Amino acid sequence: MSEISRFEEMELSQETQKALKKGEFVEPTDVQKESIPLAMDDKDLIVQARTGSGKTLAFLVPIFEGIEGGKGVEAVVMTPTRELAQQVESEAKIFARARGLKTVAIYGGASIEKQIRRIPKASFVAGTPGRVIDLIKRGKLKLDHIKFFILDEGDRMLDMGFFPDIKWILSRTPKGKQMMIFSATMPEPIIKLGRKYMEDPKILKLSKDDISAKGVDQYFIRVGKMNKMAKLSALLDNEPGKYLIFCNTKIWTQTLVDRLRKYGYKAHAMHGDMSQAARTKTMNDFKRGKIDILASTDVSARGIDVENITHVVNYDVPQYHKDYVHRIGRTGRLDKEGKAITFVSGDELRFLEEIEEFVDRELKELKLKKKGRVRERIDYQENADIFGMVPFRFASDDDFTKWDIVQELNKFGIRDQDIGKIELEDDGGVVEIIHSKASRIFKVKLFDNVELVEKDSREL
């Protein structure tokens, strides 16, 4: 690892040093220490570094040390989402202004005319594949003079199916450019892409193939659908902080926020059905600390690079293992503490096991000692087995048979087919009732006392 401890020790121009001070960047992170000197030596790089490691600055510094200005677009940074394109361009502006240069972010969902007007004056472009291709085909974005081509979040590009688009764009770039790929993981297609389009690339595996987000404390909460809101309320009320909450669909993201607001929480949503202006404002407010509870879909959150997120909550179990890693990587950034909590229902335990195998660690169960402002209800379905049967332990000093129990249950509308296993003991026993009628057992006078037999948290 490089012995450099401050940016002042790097051989950087006055303009770059000025921009670093303005951005309050003092001590380089590991990825910056290793990448910047190599990039400034004109090396092509493939860098594996986890989310939140400071990779954006790792490519912006060498880019603006090499840009001359007055030659059209000289640097292109490809990102998987519009939010990330905005974020990269926002940081690039600090360096560009120090040199009197212009930048532009180009992405779908915003005025293409406005972007077209800004391109002729820009030396730096951050964009998403679809809009970049559109503008190239229209003849508005020319890549003839680019000196730098950066692929940010390469594994996300791969997962989202953007590699054919990236190859199409690369085929329109000059051969002498410098190219860098930054990625949280290093799948083989990224290595192949680098070897095809790069000149003897230097590979830096700074995260050592670590996809487990070791800087994040990872927990799960066993909860059924009926009580997820109550558990989230308990978290919000008893562990104050800056929350990023993930849902799997746009509809449920908005529904969750609407329900949270009814209970007095100042929650906001981020999803694809919102206008770009609304999403931009929400993101800026989240970064500035005006919002402390943000619910988002995976796609909308891919551009989120916000410091001081204390809690990531997987309200819905992620559909893909890699999404789990990307979600929880939004907290515990730059060596700060972070906490990730995944809500898991009984029928989702197999997904929890698959996630644990993927990240090579067992998630700890989080027991919330205090309730929140949302009342919890007894969720019999969550306590049921795979056949829908809920076990109850009863006490009684009377002698009766299994047939006596069945007849008594029938009186309360619990039919024979609604009754499962019955086990008799000296002072009572256990009876199973279908979850839809489980509450009726408390009306049965044959039993002196009835208690729900709760399942182990990891029991299906």
Q: Is the pLDDT of residue 94 over 80?
A: yes
Give me the residue label for tokens 């891919």. Answer: 302
Q: Are 344 and 221 in contact (CB under 8 A)?
A: yes
Question: Which two structure tokens, joined as six digits, stand for 349?
Answer: 């335990």
**Do 143 and 222 lie in a common domain?**
no
**Do 169 and 127 lie in a common domain?**
yes
Give me the residue label for tokens 């993201």. Answer: 253
Q: What is the pLDDT of residue 346?
A: 83
**Do 283 and 432 lie in a common domain?**
no
What is the mean pLDDT of the segment spanning 116-128? 96
**Do 96 and 161 lie in a common domain?**
yes
Q: How confident is the model at residue 358 (pLDDT cuts 50, 70, 90)?
A: confident
d(CA 289, CA 308): 9
**Do 221 and 280 lie in a common domain?**
yes
What is the mean pLDDT of the segment spanning 142-170? 92
Q: What is the pLDDT of residue 210?
A: 45
CATH number of the domain to which 112 belongs: 3.40.50.300
Q: How confident is the model at residue 302 (pLDDT cuts 50, 70, 90)?
A: low
Q: What is the pLDDT of residue 290?
A: 93
Q: What is the pLDDT of residue 360?
A: 83
DSSP state of 197: H
Domain residue limits at 100? 7-205
**Do 300 and 333 lie in a common domain?**
yes
d(CA 413, CA 275): 52
Among 274-278, 285-289, 336-340, where is mean pLDDT lowest?
A: 274-278
Relative orientation angle of helices 228-238 and 250-262, to the nearest 10 degrees: 60
**Do 400 and 356 lie in a common domain?**
no
Q: Is the pLDDT of residue 386 over 90?
A: no
**Do 425 and 298 lie in a common domain?**
no
d(CA 181, CA 199): 13
Opening angle at CA 263, ends 246 and 454, nearest 5: 70
**Do 89 and 52 lie in a common domain?**
yes
- Examine residue 81 and state whether it is found in any structural domain, yes or no: yes
**Do 339 and 359 lie in a common domain?**
yes
200-214 confidence digits (pLDDT tens): 999 998 764 445 466
Q: How many domains are there within the chain?
A: 3
The three-class DSSP label of residue 133 is helix
CATH number of the domain to which 430 belongs: 3.30.70
d(CA 163, CA 158): 6
Q: State what percent of residues in the chain have pLDDT above 70.
A: 93
Q: What is the pLDDT of residue 51?
A: 66
Task: Name, in order, each residue with C-beta under 8 angstroms of 417's C-beta and a sequence gap of 6 or more.
Answer: 434
What is the mean pLDDT of the segment spanning 317-335? 77
- Examine residue 211 and state whether it is found in any structural domain, yes or no: no
What is the mean pLDDT of the segment spanning 83-97? 92
